Structure 1
Amino acid sequence: MKMRVFAAVVTIIIFLGVFGAPKAHAALTEAQIQAILGLLQSFGADQSVINNVNSSLRGGVAVAPSGTVQIALFTENLGWGSTHPEVSKLQQFLKERGYFTGEVTGSFFGATAQAVKTFQSKYQIEQSGYFGPQTRAVANNILQGGQTQPSITVLSPNGGEVWEIGSTNRIEWKNSNLPSGSDPINIQLVNEQGVLITTIAQGVATGGVSTGVGGGAYMWTIPSSMSSGTYRIRVICTKELADCFSGSLPVSDTSDAPFSIVAPTTTTLPSAGSLSVSLDSATSFGFRNVLIGSTGVSLASLRFTAVGEDIDVKQIALQLSDTALNTPDDLLNREIQLYDGNAVLIGRAVFTTGDYAISTNIINFRVPGGGSKVMFIKGDIAANATIGDTLKVDYDGNNAGLGGNYGVGWTSGNTIIPTGSDTASAGVKIISPTSATQPSITVLSPNGGIAQLSGGAFDIKYRTSGVSRIGLVLIKNGVTVSSVGMFDQLADGEHSVAFLVGPHNEQTIGTGSGYKVKIYNWDNASTVDESDALFSIVKPSLTASLDAGSPAGSILAGTSRVSLMRVKLSAGDSDVKINGVTIQDNGAGGRISNLELTTPTQQDAETHLANGVAMGGGRYQFSAPITIPANGSKLLDIRVNVSPTASGGVWLTFESVLHGYGNSLVVSGLGFQGSILNITGTSSIVPNARNFANIFQWWPLTMAPR
């Protein structure tokens, strides 16, 4: 190739050297100049060679190569989290030009990404914050002292698409540094060799149907006169403006590979039959994490089921869920792609109207009568998507907001609305590469021992990292006996869920032993953990009784803090935590006061727990957290002050236990009475150390001799 280019250049230079540059009166025509330049370009000549030849042909002076100054150009793609040595160079480059105001750190994060976006905005590059090939080329051109070159890139069709004659399709491109407001774009249909077949549109604005900064689109209805075959699309800037040229040639781009134009599928509205749409089992629910810039991300899988005749699906409507963190701008070019089960592209849809998109050119998707077929919906996450945003695409069979029903169409004007029109699909959460950690799940409890019921359920605690949704199952003796659906949008850290015991999901789960909890990553079941050891599910039980040490006999009137009843609470196989007790005073009112709940400690001392609150009718409530250990007991004393004027008998009834277990706690023995204590006389002074100390204050310390 180089030899052919060299020969061509030498031939032209000899021609120019012998005959000299053409004079004004004998100048080559523009067509002749373009032919020569095109010949060089077809040989793969460098742009500098083409520019020199162009200058000579037009009477200018060719620039001969001279001593080359080596300039350190950018060679690496740089993005969020990069620490390559070129990051420091990029930060310095942006800082010198006023785009970056921070310190040169060598680490690519928020401030650097924002500076790159500002630089991209200046040169009409998609503002992704990613320093990729296009942005790098502009920066290198500036480093070399050149001007930023205009460019066009065809996005669609770009190879492999199948478009039917008569269908309307979207031609889409990106452009940078093209003249604005002058409608310089022509769109051409060419064959596989690049030969012009027809001009589709002329004088199209650089923005076209806007899809963002530096991009355009044109909706083309393929005429009925078009022949079936393989073609490419060429987008070219044809205005006689400097910004429309790269060197001496107009800037343009052509589809990377051919696409097909085919005869329309012959379809008629079925005389009998129906169609239903549902989420296929390949679609998972909730949200999963995807990296920013990911391509071919699976968003949903729709299963179409036909009853009766075969049905050709020609169009569908799709909707982004209405959430604050759900925007079509997070999708590259706001577009999603539709594929059949063989991964063949059968259609596209662009979110041009808010959060709704309609694909009207689905090709070769026939659902057999009595059978079903799956359509896969995918999309590319934009490089400038917002970290933390979520994307969730649903099928929408009846969207009045778009001017009517957009279910599944056959021929023009014939549309059928499938049953089960709307679906609620999976979704993705956009994360940065730095947050993409190895996922992990750890079951914290129960991890052996006992799982105690409270309100008919027991708590399961677990920790996750890098897992957005989990599935949970209960296993008994190695067999799965129940599942607890899926919990999604989990942040890293500890979580808790109440597992209901009773009629739940598949069957009734009862108390017993041999259980384990298993928790797995819904999106990748290889990340899983389960209880370290078998545990038992138990119902807590509590028995109340009058303790043998409860007082009996009589008490003195006027006595303070005297024990009137001692209660024994005994727990079953698990700890029981109660919130207090209630009692009933059966004596005449006014005999006792200042009721107090205590618990005996060593050496017959006691610990205060709560004061009684009168509830009316002689009832008192004592509120205090009390734990009765498994297979153990707890003693409670009810202490009172006895009125100095009281007489007769007084006794208490132990009524109830306060707790939060609902029907799970089984309490027995309630309603028993304490002994009837007779109030006698008044309290007398019992000599003690304090009494004697008082006596010594007045007793003579010395006695006179007789």
Structure 2
Amino acid sequence: MRKSKKIVLGLAFLIVFSLLFNIVLPKAKAMTVEEILAKIAQLQQQIAQLQKQLSAIQKPAVWCHNFNRNLRYGDAGPEVKALQIALEKEGFYKMEPNQPSYFDEKVASAVTGFQEKYRNEILTPWGLKYGTGFVGRTTRAKLNALYGCGVVQKSECQRNGGVCINFLAECKKGYQESSFSCKYKNEKCCVPVKKSIKVISPNGGEKWVQGNTYLIKWQVKGIRENLNIYLYREYGDNKRSLTLIAGGLSPEVTHYSWTIPSYQPTEGKYKISVRTESYGGMFSPHTEGFEDESDGYFSIVAQEVSECTDSDGGKDYYTKGTVTDEGKTYADYCIDSSTLREYFCLEKTAGGLGGVAEEDYACPYGCESGACKPGITVLSPNGGEEWSFGTLQTITWSSKGIDKVNIYLWFPDGATCLLTKDIPAANESYTLTIQENQQCSNIEKQITPGQYKIAIWSEEPAMDIAAPHDYSDSYFSIGKQKSITILSPNGGEEWFLGNTYEIKWNSSGFEKVHIDIIDGSKNTAYTLASELSASEGKFSWKIGSQWPELSAGDKYKIRVISYPFPASGEWEEGVNYDVSDNYFSISQPVKGITVLSPNGGEEWKIGNTYTIKWDSSGYDSSASVQIGLRDTRYDPNLAEGEAAIVNTTNTGSYTWTIPSEIGVMKLGAGNVYKVVIYIEGGGIPQKYDVSDSLFSIKKGITVLQPNGGEIWEKGDAAAIENIDHRAMIKWKVNGIFAEDTNFAVIKLKKGNEVVRVIGAVPIYPPWDSPDHSWQIWSVPQDIEPGDNYKIEIIPVISETSGQWSTDMKEVVGGIGDESDNYFSIVTQVQEVSSVGLKEIENQLAFISQVISRLAGQIKELLKR
């Protein structure tokens, strides 16, 4: 230690001296360049000498240990710790922080590597090729030879034939720097450069067949010179020959594919020689270059009939097979995760030749355990397709290595509906028809319009995720069967210019349609309407009222097309478009008028408003129209038999609020009325039309209040003068006269059930307002609260007197009424007394005082 200190002090002195020499001395005396360089060289020499002495003194402590007992899996303690250290020094083990001294699988694996590294000394004496992981006698002997105490231990570099030099120096010629460690940190390892050639195949014992192709393989180390390959042959009476197979090969090449000529002699024995170009010929002295030849002889034989057998029957990429030929066995294996090396027997040639061949096959679904993995790919439907219920559809797929498949319809919620099973995978297609609401056979689900995928599995059940399977990439749709069928006009109809007709069709599976009219005489189509709702099923068309301007003719058809239009090449009649089956005609109009509404069977009510409609042909909108009402119980020539409603123009409709009477004609009867419409204009004699059948105009009552949304409280009654009170019943009388001695029966309904007859009052009570009748009702306490009440009022007549009685009957031709919507009946809300309010106010004031007092106390505490 003292010596070490002296050396360090010496180094320090030299450094200080050098500083003084470079800084101070020049001030005292100028030195020549030669003197300065001499001083520097002297200092460098002294520093190098001191570094050498320091390295010798500061040698690291060499670790050693004597291994005196056998060690095995499961042992623990200092002996195992020492074993771990030795194995780490050998590069077979890595010590972790706080590594436990335990003989585990990791230690056993490292021991195995150590034993195989020193196989000749450890394993060969026992006749073993591979390490055992057990530290026995020969293993301990090698450990002690390397790391035993008292043994002069060589560094890793020395054990591998290298020499250690200063890390600043260069390796001498013939040596190269290595990663092997030296004893000292400031040293590096230099090992001899080893140049070599090693023939790998053929290396003795092989039988190569004329005409076949084989790989000649070798290894090269440290050589940068091109290579030549020779075939060496010994035959006859000590005869030899050397034939060049290939020359000028790069030293980077490690194999050569050689097809043995069919004329290559089979007599004799052969070796392969791989040598550098500078090595020379066969019999010349070899002072330069490198060469290696097969360790043993191989033979070249004539082609024979192959007795080759293949367990998988040939090129079966999806079954791991073994090929046996001439006593040798070749097993299929995976070169990598996607490539299979497949062995198979060659077919016999005309000459009876065969043998073993190999092929590298790219597995579509990956390679595993010596065979391609089976797989399935759904091709169609694969997303975006539109299927229709009841139509024939085809599912297609591709598959490899699979016998049969099961096909499912996959719901978005993950459910799988079995469509079919045990279909040969090689078919790669399946045709089926799916019906709307079809019941799945394997789950409680029905197939309804929606989005789906096809799932194809190699076996049941579908939930076995390990089985080969595939889904459609995206969703496709299944919906109602698409169709368009024209109903009218469909051929033979005669339509008139200026009249309005309905074009009708049936459709399914489309949202919108487009309508054309086709003029067959010109082979031209004109648009009538576009983007119509397909589900509407009809379009009202007034011929000639707008473009196109059509002329009379008998070669017209209607065409209805799905919108947006089908793509080119996808038009299919009856599916996405339809045309009238035959021609219909468009003719000049015959002037006339037709009553459209009321046209028979209607029940109209006095006081309500209705629309009278008609259609005319041959008249313009300025024509004069007179609308009248006929009571068929009387002669139409009498005032009671026909009365005028209005004189107007030819607009096609008139809105009429029905009065109680028209002139002397009193209204209010069932199925006795018809509307008559007269038209005149353009110099054409007057024409008219009447309703085809009878309709009714009835007397009646209209409930005004409650009519929906009101809230009545039980026990609530209104003063007579308060006519707007919420518990008031109001109604209006339509067409009922005083001489009918009429009454109104008022009923309370809950839902559709009458729960209380409130009573009967005169239809015209003495307290009537100018525009309605009314009655006050106090809601009894026994009425159940609810929000589904209505008031119903029915007109009745007493046959005995002008007073209310139980023998009242409904007025002939009269119509009752009920509230349009529900109103509510609730329990009466109790008001809060002024005394109770005062008490609440006092309590709130007291609470406020307490809170203020507490706040003051908190402030005082905070000040302290």
Quickly name the TM-score band, shorter chain normalised.
Answer: 0.3 to 0.5
Q: Which has the larger radius of gyration?
A: 2
